Amino acid sequence: MKSKIYTLTGDNGTTSLVGGKRVNKDDIRVEAYGTIDELNAYMGLLGHNSKLDYPGMHELVRKVQNKLFCIGAYLATENAEQPVGLTEDDVRDLEIRIDQLDEHLPPMQGFILPGGSRLSALCDICRTITRRAERRVVTLSRQAEVHPVVLHYLNRLSDFFFVFARFNNIHNQFEEIYWNKDC
């Protein structure tokens, strides 16, 4: 028999962590994994972009989405020792990808405004959500143990989105717009 999606248990503003403990829906732990979930939703949109034509990029987007589920499950589990399915090798994989893309980019001449192509703008949205997720996880780490690989991965992921946004603008011949502080 199929279970119902609605349980009514959250009607009072609480939700269950993995293991059954009830917490408020605005608990920092829920904020942290909820922001990871939001990022994953935007990555779903990013993954359906037909202009992801750099080799292996569709596969990388799916891999990152799975890693984000690993992070979300870890954050939703109180007292988890380490995330399952996320290691420093995953951080290094992102670094390799960043370096591969960056090889095709000119040196930066200043701060670049978000936007350009539609794909680059979506990368910028993913980057800023990643940074917010990182801030939420840092806040959580002041109250509970958080394995360092989570912050390493999120930090590198935001760097990846920045470089991928630049790559897409250059690759698709969109001009990078630099911040004009005197405008």
The pLDDT tens digits for 163-183 are: 999 999 998 888 888 899 888
As a whole number, mean pLDDT of residues 70-95 equals: 95
Cα separation, 103 vs 116, whole angstroms = 20
| Helices and strands of the chain, counted as H and E runs | 5, 2
Contact between 153 and 86 (Cβ < 8 Å): yes
Q: Which of 2-11, 28-37, 91-100, 128-137 has the lowest mean pLDDT?
A: 2-11
As a whole number, mean pLDDT of residues 74-81 equals: 91
Give the pLDDT of residue 9.
61
Asked whether the predicted pLDDT for residue 10 surpasses 80, the reply is no
Give the pLDDT of residue 11.
67
Q: Which domains does the chain have, with CATH numbers?
A: 16-171 (1.20.1200.10)
In one-letter notation, the amino acid at residue 34 is G
Give the pLDDT of residue 144.
95
User: What pTM does this model have?
Assistant: 0.91
Asked whether the predicted pLDDT for residue 141 surpasses 80, the reply is yes
Instruction: Give the model confidence (pLDDT) of 59-77 as tens digits.
Output: 999 999 999 999 999 999 9
Q: How confident is the model at residue 161 (pLDDT cuts 50, 70, 90)?
A: very high
Contact between 58 and 123 (Cβ < 8 Å): no
